[in-house]
Each structure stands twice: as C-alpha cells, then as structure tokens.
Amino acid sequence: MRKCLDALLTESADGSVTRFVWLRQFEMGRNSADMNRLLDRLYALQDIALDNSLLSDIPPHRVAGLRRQGERYFAGDMRDISGNRRLAILAVCVLEWRSAVADAVVETHDRIVGKTWREAKSRNDTCVAEAKSTLKDTLKAFSSLGSALLEAHEDKAPLEEAIQNTGGWSSLRDLVATAAQLTDTLAADPLAHVVQ
C-alpha cells in the first residue's frame, strides 16, 4: 500500500500531471463527458484499496488539515515530506477524495437528469401549444355535429341526413382520428420526449 500511495506522486495520469494532481482536479459536471471524467477518477480512487475505517480514530480537524495539505502541495513538494507524514496525507486524500468524487458523480447525475427533464417538458409543452388550434377546430366540428344530431333526433329526422349535412362519414372519420391524436398529445407525459 505504501508503494501504491507513493506511486501517485510519480506516475503520470495524462502525460502532463501526476496521478496525485489529476485525482484532485475534479468538480461537479453538467454533461456525460464531465461524468466520464469523474467516473475515471472515482474508479482510480476505488482501485486503491484503503479501508474507510482507517480514519475512524483520527479527529476530524486533523483529517481536514491533512487533506488541505494534500490539496495545496504539488507532487514534488509531497515527495520532499518525510515518509510517514507523506503517507498519512496521501491516505487521507485518497479516502476524502473518494467520497467527494462520489458526491460529485451524484450531483452531476442529478444535473444531467434535471436538464433532460426540463428539455423534455419544454418539448411536451411545445407540442401541446401547437395542438391548441387543431383542438379548437376539432371541438368546433364535434359541437356542430352534435348539435346537428340532437336537432335531427328532436325533429325525428334521420340521423344519417344530419351526418351528411355536417360533412359526411369521411369527415367524421377524420374528426375521430384527429381527436384520438389530440388526446394522446394532451395526455403525453414529458417522459415520452426524453428519447428525443
């Protein structure tokens, strides 16, 4: 474990910085690329098999102080610190960053889901808004048809004639299809638009 921790100060992560510096460079993200960068760090930290109970007997203010030192020093400065102190700082940083990166992953996930939901809701609202004029025309046509049928019923006239006078059976078929489509549009949940 000592070798593994010390290797953080010598191994390169992306060709320009040590793994130690790379691991501490994280922040909450907003998209899948940010999420992938966070997950890379989280997996790297999880691969270092330090048990969280390692810090259970250390006062929180001491843990916070060691973490601050680790976040302030560069790898070269860390290598100059004596063995046990350096290892203590590295161990604290690994454990603390593991939790912090996990929290950042969750927060990034929430941001991505929230953004996706807002976009889906916006698409859904747009579809509903676009359907309003068609809905108005369809309701007007059904109102005319219903009035004609009721009038024919009261006059004991054939209902077939009332349907023909309001556009015929093909018009009624179109109205029913439009009404079904509008019902689906107005009842749609924003989740239906997530894939888009």
**Within 10 Å of residue 74's Cβ, how many Cβ atoms?**
12
The encoded tokens of residue 155 equal 């006059």
Q: Closest Cα to residue 107, out of 20, 29, 15?
A: 29
pTM: 0.69
The pair of structure tokens assigned to 154 is 């009261």
Domain ranges of the chain: 2-111, 118-193
**Residues 6 or more apart in contact with residue 30 via CB below 8 angstroms:** 108, 111, 112, 115
From CA 179, how far away is CA 188, in angstroms rounded?
14
Full pLDDT tens readout for the chain, 196 residues: 999 999 999 998 877 889 999 999 999 999 999 999 999 999 999 999 898 888 889 899 999 999 999 999 888 888 889 889 999 999 999 999 999 999 999 999 999 999 988 888 888 888 788 888 888 888 888 888 888 888 888 888 888 888 888 888 888 888 888 888 888 777 777 776 677 6
User: Residue 20: enclosing H or E segment and its boundaries?
Assistant: helix 19-24
How far apart, in whole angstroms, are the C-alpha atoms of residue 182 and residue 140?
Answer: 14
